[in-house]
Amino acid sequence: MKHFLLRYSLIRIKGCPEGFRAADFGMGKSGNPKAPWARLAVMLGMPPESGLMDIQKGYLDAIATGEVHDPIILDNKTAPCKENIWLGDDIDLEKFPAPLGHDGDGGRYIQTAGLNIVQTPDGKWTNWSTNRAMILDKNTMTGLWIPAQHNGMIHQMWTKEGKDTPWALALGVNPAVTTQAGARCPDWVDEYDQSSKLLDSSIELVKCETNDLLVPADAEIIIEGYVCKDQFEAEGPFGEYPGYLPDEVNKTPRQVITAITFRNNPILPICLPGVPIDSSHVSMSFFRASDVVTAFKKAELPVIDAMILFESANHWLVIRVKDDWHKTTGLTTDAFIRLIGDTFWNQHVGSSAKLVVVGEDIDPSSLRDVTWALATRNHPKLGTYFFEDIHKMGAGTENYHAANEKIHGEGGLAIYSCLPLQDRVGLPKRRVLSFDENYPDPIKAKVNENWTKWGFKE
């Protein structure tokens, strides 16, 4: 699968050094109604007019069939990200065009669309992931290192050994690498491997200046240093992807900067979440849902595909299953829904709190289809399943949690089944009164033949 660089809409920021620029992450919805997901499609080397589920299929096929290619390690003198090097007193995070993105944010967030890079103490797992981080002063920052997330898991490993965590941040990377910003790889799987499968080629890496981590050599900006084991700073609030500004201020690990390297005229990618749809919703929803499909198929569940509706601000994961699920699994509706929930929430991909399970005729990416199914096929009592025995709370950024749920980190997992209730399993499906499924063939043929002639758009 070929990949192409995104065309950024560049912003030059007053007060920053000459040539320093900023740009949106680039995955938002297109203004072209015939190609609404063109930016995502082109990023993954597919035709601009590709539908969302077709893009997902291409992405999953590349991950499933691609081979991992060993990296090419460049000499520091030849890597594009080393054109400029700041060490010691030259280090100054405040020179970069990191915005105060929302009215009420606790600081300037330089890390909203980059990849944190950390490695386990034994060197067996290197994780690339996106977690927000804000500037404290010219050589320190702080961000999220949540123990339930991969970067936090690895930070905890270093902390248990009584050591600070070596760390690097790559900003402005190859689109194939960018895909991993919103992905949910399983534990102990390197995002490098996924990226090289997508590219079907090696990726050029280069060693950091002040630690042994390898970073993408073509990145716009590399920030490197360490995450403190026992020093913390106030972080937030920060307006997150549910579309609200929270009132919490967190205590998060202090990150000390030991070097900054960057290209000439560097571009800082930014992703400022808000009310959907924006780049954060597309990135997180698309790639996370794709990893969910992989996880379900690995568990041998009859899942066709899945998508987190962008319009739901990443809160509704819609799972499409085969209509013959009862025949292939031998399960009742209740048992099948329970199996989906237990499979989903007991692994790393399980961060959504609200799941909607639909049949083959519902497009998981269509707000219209999903709304219709949820309104007409979900029984408000018998079709709603709660998972109180699983001690999670979704992503934790939802705007509806009670105070005690925030304290204990659990609460509110539910599946809304749009599958038949048990007394209709195995019976013929009710006829759908749509043009495609219910109108007589001669009428459909006449309408299709004369549609544009009658003045309607294709």
pLDDT tens digit string along 32-46?
999 999 999 998 889
- Cite the DSSP H helix spans in 216-366: 279-298, 325-329, 333-345
Top pLDDT among 158 and 1 is at: 158
Per the structure block, which two tokens stand in for 291? 């990893």
Residue 306 pairs in a beta bridge with 319
C-alpha 388/C-alpha 393 separation (Å) is 10
Say what the pLDDT of residue 218 is: 97
Whether residue 381 has pLDDT greater than 50 = yes
Query: For residue 199, which amino acid is it?
Result: L
- On whether the CB atoms of residues 245 and 274 are closer than 8 A, the answer is no
Residue 219: how many other CB atoms lie within 10 Å = 26
pLDDT digits (tens, 9 = 90+) for 36-80: 999 999 988 899 999 999 999 999 999 999 999 999 999 999 999
- For 108, 123, 145, 151, the CA distances from 228, given in Å and listed in that order, are 20, 19, 11, 13
Say what the pLDDT of residue 9 is: 55
| Tokens 């599958």 belong to residue | 419
* Catalytic entry in 204, 240, 248, 300: 240
Question: Considering the domain 69-265 in this protein, what is its CATH number?
Answer: 2.30.110.10
φ, ψ of residue 117 in degrees (nearest 5): -120, 120
- Domains 69-265 and 279-422 fall in the same CATH topology: no
pLDDT digits (tens, 9 = 90+) for 279-308: 999 999 999 999 999 999 999 999 999 999
pLDDT digits (tens, 9 = 90+) for 220-270: 999 999 999 999 999 999 999 999 999 889 999 999 999 999 999 999 999
Binning pLDDT at 50, 70 and 90, where does residue 8 land? very low
Say what the pLDDT of residue 166 is: 98
Q: CA 59: distance to chain centroid?
A: 14
Say what the pLDDT of residue 458 is: 66
Whether residue 3 has pLDDT greater than 60 = no
Say what the pLDDT of residue 426 is: 81
Calculate mean pLDDT across residues 357-380: 97
Burial string for 350-369 (b: 16+ CB within 10 Å, else e) reads bbbbbbbbbbeebbbbbeeb
Quote the pTM value.
0.92
- For 12, 113, 231, 374, the CA distances from 7, given in Å and listed in that order, are 15, 16, 40, 37
Taking the CA atoms of 435, 436, 438 and 441 in sequence, report the sign of the dihedral they define. Answer: positive
Binning pLDDT at 50, 70 and 90, where does residue 18 land? confident
Which residue in 22, 27, 1 sits closest to 12, CA to CA?
22
Whether residue 4 has pLDDT greater than 50 = no
Is residue 290 packed enough to be buried (19+ CB in 10 Å), middle (13-18) or exposed (0-12)?
A: buried
- 240 in catalytic set: yes
Residues 6+ apart with CB under 8 A from 267: 8, 10, 21, 22, 23, 172, 220
Q: CA 234: distance to chain centroid?
A: 25
pLDDT digits (tens, 9 = 90+) for 191-221: 999 999 999 999 999 999 999 999 999 999 9
Say what the pLDDT of residue 196 is: 95
Per the structure block, which two tokens stand in for 16? 């920053």
Calculate mean pLDDT across residues 411-416: 94
Q: Is 19 left (phi over 0), alpha (psi -120 to 50) or beta?
A: left
Whether residue 86 has pLDDT greater than 80 = yes
Work out the mean pLDDT of the chain and round it to a whole number: 93
Question: Considering the domain 279-422 in this protein, what is its CATH number?
Answer: 3.40.1670.10
- 130 by DSSP, 3-state: which? coil
Q: Where are the domains of the chain?
A: 69-265, 279-422
